């Protein structure tokens, strides 16, 4: 099915698109990340009560960014972006693999590992130098009296980022394509319903049927790194 030239395409990716790059997903190995339940470390109260554990958890994931590479699925989306006039890439992922795979203007609705956020000014800055990746706490460069910085991540119970821009794009798209997401976490998992209500064609590319599979017009099951390149070629034909 060729995506008509001039169409508006919105992509939403989840952890599944980074799985073949070696980045652990959240719910494939019963929601554990190196024996931490996500719900126990990705929350404001965990940061409040046990900042050492939360900080080490995120520093480990930030250091891991230096060991992983984009996979063919990331490159396929960059190719799709070049072939479509009106393209929006929204990701739930906090890694930088879309950018490194050649995608531009990536909307990170759950935050990013590469940036850290001042707890007072809320300003964020990229902090990925060697000295920024150790296990000791880091301090901001934006306040006269430096304040501790936190991971620039949207934790459970916090508002996802860029929602206005996201709903604007999904509300006017012709194609809404979800890649590598289990459909468990809202509001991301509800975006397909917004797309359907606006008459978009909704397509899923995932290793297995997700929780919200009923909502998609078309489903392609398989590993994104294996099946997305051919799908993108068929969409651009
Ligand atoms: N190719 C395609 N899909 C894959 C692959 C792969 N190689 N490997 C795994 N998957 C699928 C799994 O079958 C699963 O449906 O990717 C999905 C990953 O689901 P989750 O681990 O739940 O990740 P995600 O949907 O991104 O989680 C959403 O939950 O923990 C929070 O904030 C976190 O952004 C995350 C959000």
pLDDT at 32: 59
How many residues are recorded in the chain?
237
Q: Which residues pair with 201 in a beta bridge?
A: 175
SS3 content of the chain, % helix, strand, coil (to 5): 35, 20, 40
pLDDT band at 25 (very low <50, low <70, confident <90, very high): confident
Ligand 1 pocket test: pick from 13, 22, 25 the residue with the most ligand atoms within 8 Å of its Cβ: 25
Give CA–CA dist 216/19, Å, rounded: 22
Q: Is the CB of 158 under 6 A from ligand 1?
A: no
- Return the residue whose CA atom lies nearest to atom 4 of ligand 1: 16
Domain boundaries, the chain: 1-23+70-110+160-237, 28-67+115-153
pLDDT at 6: 85
180 close to 97: Cβ distance less than 8 angstroms: no
Residues labelled as active-site residues: 110
In angstroms, what is the span from residue 171 Cα to ligand 1's centroid? 23
Query: Looking at domain 1-23+70-110+160-237, which of 1.10.540.10, 3.40.190.10, 3.30.160.150, 3.40.50.1220 is its CATH number?
Result: 3.40.50.1220
Ligand 1 pocket test: pick from 28, 31, 159, 183 the residue with the most ligand atoms within 8 Å of its Cβ: 28
Kindly give the number of the ligand 1 atom that is closest to the alpha carbon of 210: 15
pLDDT band at 38 (very low <50, low <70, confident <90, very high): confident
Alpha-helical segments (H) within the chain: 38-41, 44-49, 51-64, 72-83, 97-100, 163-170, 191-197, 224-236
Q: Is the CB of 18 under 6 A from ligand 1?
A: no
The string of pLDDT tens digits covering residues 98-121 is 999 999 999 999 999 999 999 999
pLDDT band at 29 (very low <50, low <70, confident <90, very high): low
In angstroms, what is the span from residue 147 Cα to ligand 1's centroid? 34
Q: Is the CB of 36 under 6 A from ligand 1?
A: no
Give CA–CA dist 60/38, Å, rounded: 14
- CA atoms within a 13 Å half-sphere pointing along the CA-CB vector of 127: 23
**What fold, for 28-67+115-153?**
SIR2/SIRT2 'Small Domain' (3.30.1600)
Q: Is the CB of 208 under 6 A from ligand 1?
A: yes
* Threshold 0.85, pTM exceeds: yes
Q: Is the CB of 21 under 6 A from ligand 1?
A: no
The string of pLDDT tens digits covering residues 143-190 is 999 999 999 999 999 999 999 999 999 999 999 999 999 999 999 999
Ligand 1 pocket test: pick from 12, 27, 90, 222 the residue with the most ligand atoms within 8 Å of its Cβ: 27
pLDDT band at 228 (very low <50, low <70, confident <90, very high): very high
């Amino acid at each position: 099915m060729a995506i008509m030239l001039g169409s508006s395409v919105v992509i939403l990716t989840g952890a599944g698109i980074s799985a073949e790059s070696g980045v652990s997903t959240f719910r494939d190995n019963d929601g554990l990340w190196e024996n931490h339940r996500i719900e126990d470390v990705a929350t404001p109260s965990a940061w409040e009560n046990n900042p050492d554990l939360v900080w080490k958890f995120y520093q480990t994931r930030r250091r891991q960014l230096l060991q992983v590479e984009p996979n063919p699925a990331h490159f396929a989306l960059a190719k799709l972006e070049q072939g479509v006039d009106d393209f929006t890439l929204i990701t739930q992922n906090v890694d930088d693999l879309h950018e490194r795979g050649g995608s531009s203007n990536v909307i990170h609705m759950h935050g990013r590992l590469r940036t850290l956020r001042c707890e007072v000014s809320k300003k964020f800055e990229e902090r990925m130098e060697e000295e920024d990746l150790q296990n000791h706490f880091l301090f901001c460069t934006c306040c006269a009296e430096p304040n501790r910085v936190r991971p620039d991540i949207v934790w459970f119970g916090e508002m996802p980022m860029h929602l206005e821009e996201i709903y604007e794009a999904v509300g006017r798209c012709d194609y809404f394509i979800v890649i590598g997401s289990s459909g468990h976490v809202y509001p991301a998992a509800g975006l397909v319903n917004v797309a359907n209500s606006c008459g978009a064609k909704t397509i899923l590319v995932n290793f297995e049927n997700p929780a919200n599979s009923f909502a998609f017009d078309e489903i392609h099951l398989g590993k994104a790194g294996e099946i997305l390149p051919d799908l993108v070629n068929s969409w651009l034909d």
